[in-house]
A and B are shown apart, each in its own frame.
Chain A
Amino acid sequence: QIRGSRARALPDRALVNCQYSSATFSTGERKRRPHGDRKSCEMGLQLRQTFEAAILTQLHPRSQIDIYVQVLQADGGTYAACVNAATLAVLDAGIPMRDFVCACSAGFVDSTALADLSHVEEAAGGPQLALALLPASGQIALLEMDARLHEDHLEQVLEAAARAARDVHTLLDRVVRQHVREASILLGD
């Protein structure tokens, strides 16, 4: 159902609405404004782009899918954590998706590519890459980078991020299969 503005209803697709909020106690210093600041809006937009690519919105015309993410503890890689958590949530709700969306951040420090940066490594100021991947087909849902990185190093960093995202996928896959198996056993054959 669409709540709020009816005018935004798309006649042939579902509208995906994402909101990102971080708790005041999530970072080192207590944050005063959890919603509405620029970083939250930007994260929400990125999440929306990622999930619009992954969810089969054609199957739900004139309705709205809301994804609300709240970060309780941030130590780097918040975008990746949000995407992984939201993937599990969408899967649990039974909304049809093309594939899992697994995300990971990567960076380049001292001429080595690092995957899954922590807050300290992010604050060091090197280039960082956030990658959201659909593992089965290898398609990239979202690739975002801020800072300057030499073209030669791009391959390496991308490779590291993709490998880490695949590892996340293995983990998520195992957990989901386990859950489905249990539920299916309990429901009986």
Chain B
Amino acid sequence: MAMEMRLPVARKPLSESLGRDTKKHLVVPGDTITTDTGFMRGHGTYMGEEKLIASVAGSVERVNKLICVKALKTRYNGEVGDIVVGRITEVQQKRWKVETNSRLDSVLLLSSMNLPGGELRRRSAEDELAMRGFLQEGDLISAEVQAVFSDGAVSLHTRSLKYGKLGQGVLVQVSPSLVKRQKTHFHDLPCGASVILGNNGFIWIYPTPEHKEEDAGGFVANLEPVSLTDREVISRLRNCIVSLVTQRMMLYDTSILYCYEASLPHQV
């Protein structure tokens, strides 16, 4: 019986067809960056016998007297004000532990979470017991980074109505270095879906809600069935993002939109 088989073929590296070359200084661990002791050492380097040696594989960045090596792929390092999308891993006494693709789990304190209805009051013992009713293990939330602890753990808050539990949609996990820093990370794309570009590399694609619900505060998950056209749009967007990631392009709303438009002639 004859069968047709398609085997994967190694992709030709795109860099050859682009014809460009990099002007950066690329290092691998163990390379000596400089023997000049006048420089301060930053991330990705360490001092060994009066020489500055790289400890990750990447490109060297120099800012005046500071030398650091930016690695290709790292875990998310939190900065105050970043938007992140995370998954609840644990419910502890007065806080939730959220997984955000960083070195340590992030923390969402009960006092940093909006109560349903938007009331402002001190959190009591009943609120503590009702924590599991708000967010359980496995839920996805969008939040903003409030503070960073000394060991790198990040503290989140959902103090605005646009943050909170996420309902139906698709999550795409990419490397945090590929998400471009912009003014806003919540985008409503004209093709009919909305996307949240988390700085930690988690990207959430969901159907645009017809009307914004102001009073729910992000707690009520909309469980109505999503229409087929919306679902196709969302899956096409997800494939666009995955293909952009394999070619290592920065992700922001216009790049995703151009990719989407270029993919329209092909089927999902």
Contacts and interface: CB of A to CB of B under 8 A. Distances in A.
Interface in A1-55: 1
A134 interface: yes
B56 A186 contact: no
B28 A180 contact: yes
Interface stretch (B69-77, B79-87, B136-144, B210-218): B69-77
Interface string A178-189: 011111111111
A135 interface: yes
Contacts of A105: none
A135 B92 CA distance: 46
A184 B249 contact: no
B59 A184 contact: yes
Nearest to B153: A62
B55 interface: yes
Interface stretch (B16-24, B112-120, B157-165, B229-237): B16-24
A187 B250 contact: yes
B14 interface: yes
Contact of B46 (A56, A176, A181, A184): A56
B26 A181 contact: yes
B104 A100 contact: no
B44 interface: yes
Contact of B104 (A62, A95, A137, A186): A62
A183 B44 contact: no
A100 B59 contact: no
B181 interface: no
Contact of B13 (A60, A182, A184, A189): A182
Interface string B84-107: 000000000000000100011100
B209 interface: no
Contact of B28 (A61, A134, A177): A177
A91 interface: yes
Nearest to A14: B103
Contacts of B151: 61-62
B247 interface: yes
Given A98-B46, A180-B72, A136 B99 contact: no
Contacts of B26: 177, 180-181, 184
Interface of B: 13-15, 18, 20-24, 26, 28-32, 44, 46, 48, 53, 55-59, 71-75, 99, 103-105, 151-152, 247-250
26 contacts: A63-B103, A91-B29, A92-B72, A93-B73, A94-B58, A94-B72, A96-B44, A96-B46, A97-B56, A99-B30, A136-B32, A176-B28, A177-B26, A179-B72, A180-B57, A180-B58, A180-B59, A184-B22, A184-B59, A185-B18, A185-B22, A186-B18, A186-B249, A187-B248, A187-B249, A189-B24
Given A1-B104, A99-B30, 19 more contacts: A1-B99, A1-B105, A62-B151, A92-B72, A93-B73, A97-B29, A97-B56, A99-B29, A100-B28, A100-B29, A135-B30, A136-B30, A136-B32, A173-B28, A183-B72, A183-B248, A185-B18, A185-B20, A189-B22
